Structure 1
């Protein structure tokens, strides 16, 4: 089973590290962006198959000369809806599905939910959308809730 390559847009480096580890073996985080301007700058080239070194220094593409093209972009709740729309305004970035937690589904606590909960819900939502090995190119492109 080969993991499906995805991008993570996450603001907190430690949480990103835990998310990267937790998404394996089904999903491989190939590139991480910590803010919207960087995502808008780095991701278009990556989606075109060009080698793009992430400013974050995170993701499996940092260890290879042949970058894996991501099949989806996962955005953490640290990003505002305005930042999300700013990133999604880039045409080439709308060619893959995006996953983002709607405000009404986020816990009403200070800070993010436990990483185990985020990972479990992300994997569950990917499966709900049919984003599984062998079918990752057959899913509907758009913005998915998680």
Structure 2
């Protein structure tokens, strides 16, 4: 494992691919989810250290023997989608990082991916410094 294991939820594999590559080497996306419905089914398996029976995406390292330290939602996930997934992991202490949609962003494309990545990485680093990626913290954190 090259970095801190995390789960990434995004609406497109195109942007997800770039975000995954640019989170390295500090963070390793072990599983990528395309929809809230898939996340609610797949993420509990991943948190138990198991590969989900079906996957909404082939992105991610697939290294399930290390428990993810956070679940990160891209800007395509609104409050309802994040809440839906959060309910499926309510019995687990894990931080959920959600894009702050009130912050102006460029249209979806390369510049969007770069900006969302910077914000996400900054928040992950902040939570890591505060000791909130140690498996005892839960809740939704905006980035």
TM-score normalised according to structure 1 size: 0.83
Partner of 2:26: 26
Partner of 2:97: 99
* Contact 1:47/1:93 (8 A) holds in 2: no
- Which residue pairs with 1:44 in the alignment? 44
May I ask how many residue pairs the two structures share in their alignment?
A: 140
The alpha-carbon deviation at position 67 of structure 1 amounts to 3.6
Q: Which residue of 2 aligns with 1:142?
A: 139
- Any runs of at least 4 consecutive aligned residues in structure 1 with deviations exceeding 6 A, and if so which? none
- Cα displacement string for residues 39-79 of structure 1 (whole angstroms, at most 9, x for unaligned residues): 01111111011222533011000xx5x54321100001111
1:136 is paired with a residue whose SS is coil
- Compare 40-49 and 92-101 and name the one that shifted more: 92-101
- Distance in structure 2 (CA, Å) of the matches to 1:126 and 1:139: 15
Deviation sequence 1:2-42 (CA, Å, 0-9, x none): 40000010001100000110000000000000001100111
Task: Show the 5 A alignment for 1:116-127.
Answer: 116-127=114-125
RMSD: 2.4
Distance 2:67 2:55 in 1: 13
The match for 2:77 is 79
Greater mean alpha carbon deviation, residues 72-81 or residues 114-123: 114-123
Q: Which runs of 5+ in 1 are unaligned?
A: none
TM-score (norm 2): 0.85
Change (3 A) 1:79 1:139: same
